[in-house]
Amino acid sequence: CFTFDHCLLTRKGRMSSAMELPTGGFVFENTQRNEWMASNANMSKMPTTKKTGTTIAGIVFKDGVVLGADTRATAGSVVADKNCEKIHYLAPNIFCCGAGTSADCDHVTEMMSNNLSLHRLNTGKECRVVTAVNMLAQMLFRYQGHIGTALVIGGVDVDGPHLFTVWPHGSIDQLPFVTMGSGSLAAMSVFESEYQDNLQREQARDLVRGAIGAGISNDLGSGSNCDITIITRDGVERFRNIDRMGDKWRSAAGFNVPKGTTDYYNEVIKNVVVEDAAAPPML
């Protein structure tokens, strides 16, 4: 018989060899657990996926790629950061916009940036955009969507400008213009109505600014400012807070309310005398 060192206890409670080869395929044992939790446990509602807010977009123009993003980070219904940075560095010729869980986006992009640096050192060549996309997609697919990272990846390599989207489950799209995030529908409406082939640099930049502005104006999860990154063969140009759209409204007359504006029934005024005394003993 096997000793404990050579055995393991599976989820169903049976003993099997640690050297046993996997049978392959997906495991759906948790579906029975979830059904039991929904019917028997004291849970009025099963947990749902967390909704996040962002507007990110990208577009391919004649000489390169333009990426854009808003700068609002939310924690539920609270604005946690009004000026965060959602456009991340991957390589000198590749950048990406992140939507989803902030920690997941930051750590995934930082890890991929390090991996691409090692790739450049090993090969001695500039990374291709499709290399970064495949590495990200393979990593996210392994986690089956539990890493909340949706990315718009743009860059220019030896094959020209490229623009991709990578979804949390690992699926990939390659299109001339893309949007992601909760404000993506408003941003896409701008792209679909005004996009043209072979746009010039300034036209593409202004179109992305308009798309991000539409997302900020029509989505509560997006807001504050607009960041733009332009990638060409000649280099990268970054515009931080190129548009400021989320300033608070302030009345020109001010909010000075005179005394007596609000009626009240009675008023009690008491004088409070504070005397110095020895501090109570500590228990």
State how far the Cα of 35 lies from the Cα of 44, in Å rounded to an integer: 13
Rounded to a whole number of angstroms, the CA Rg of the chain reads: 27
Asked if 213 contacts 205 with a C-beta cutoff of 8 angstroms, the reply is no
- Would you call 184 helix, strand, or coil by DSSP? helix
pTM: 0.74
Q: What is the pLDDT of residue 4?
A: 41
Output helix, strand, coil percentages for the chain, rounded to the nearest 5. 30, 30, 45
User: Splitting the chain (283 residues) into consecutive groups of 10 residues, what average pLDDT does each group show?
Assistant: 43 49 68 78 65 90 96 90 94 96 94 96 95 96 91 96 96 96 95 94 96 93 94 95 78 78 84 77 61
**Spatial CA neighbour of 147 closest among 86, 100, 183, 110:** 100
Which DSSP letter does residue 195 get?
-
What three-state secondary structure class fits 19? coil
Burial class of 72 by CB neighbour count within 10 A (0 to 12, 13 to 18, 19+): buried
Give the pLDDT confidence score for residue 10 in this predicted structure.
46
Residue 159, pLDDT score: 94
Catalytic residue annotation: 54
- Which pLDDT score, from 0 to 100, does residue 205 have? 96
Question: What was the pLDDT predicted at 31?
Answer: 80
Cβ neighbour number for residue 160 with a 10 Å cutoff = 12
